[in-house]
Amino acid sequence: MVLGALSLFVSSSPELQVEREVIGRVVAEMPLTHGWEIGHTPRAGESTGTHLDQVVASDVYVLLLGHDFSAPMGAEVNRALLGGQKPLAYRMLCTYSPSALDAVRSLSMDWQVFPTPDQLHRLFRQDLLRALVQQATAFGLDMNELQGLLRTAQQQVELETGTGAHESRGEAGDSGVILGREVWEKGLA
């Protein structure tokens, strides 16, 4: 865990690489001086380590459902719900496997459906802004950060949806750390 950083965990179907990158880009766009630590559902062959602990410790928990609902996702969702997390839940408009259909039916979530990565970008950006504003004090955000978030939310309302393409470039879809502006501006990184 990075000191002073906000944490986000994304449980996602294995095929949602582009969508994982969208989540990473939205987080990086937030006008905050705080850094971010982002965790993801381990891919096949990756070490699971302490990823379930990251789920419970996360400030923001995201559930991204695509064609399939894998066993690691099930463990993460169960841990999140038992830990009191309220997931930001998104499901891709697609044909679902039996396990994904069961997840849609059995998990009591306010699913938001997205047909394209651009739509996910818009939905997640709006939800993340709302979550950050609503919990600004709990997250230790200062007045300047809150005002920046409110300005960004206003700009979000004014933007047209569905513009720009989100193609995978392999840059923002993995677990990692996003340093706060104060770290890289002062050369502490």
Domains and CATH numbers, the chain: 6-161 (3.40.50.10140)
Summarised one tens digit per residue, pLDDT across range 3-14 is: 578 999 999 998
Query: What is d(CA 77, CA 71) in angstroms, rounded to the nearest whole number?
Result: 10
Which residue has tokens 């986000």? 8
CB neighbours (10 Å) of residue 26? 22
Q: What is the DSSP letter of 161?
A: S
Summarised one tens digit per residue, pLDDT across range 32-49 is: 988 899 999 987 777 666
How many angstroms from the chain centroid is the CA of residue 119? 14
Q: Where are the beta strands (DSSP E) in 1-49?
A: 6-12, 36-40
Q: What is the per-residue pLDDT for 23?
A: 97
CB neighbours (10 Å) of residue 64? 25
Predicted confidence band of residue 173 (pLDDT cuts 50, 70, 90): low
pTM recorded for the entire structure: 0.79
CB neighbours (10 Å) of residue 102? 13
pLDDT exceeds 50 at position 161: no
pLDDT > 70: percent of the chain = 80
Q: What is the per-residue pLDDT for 181?
A: 56
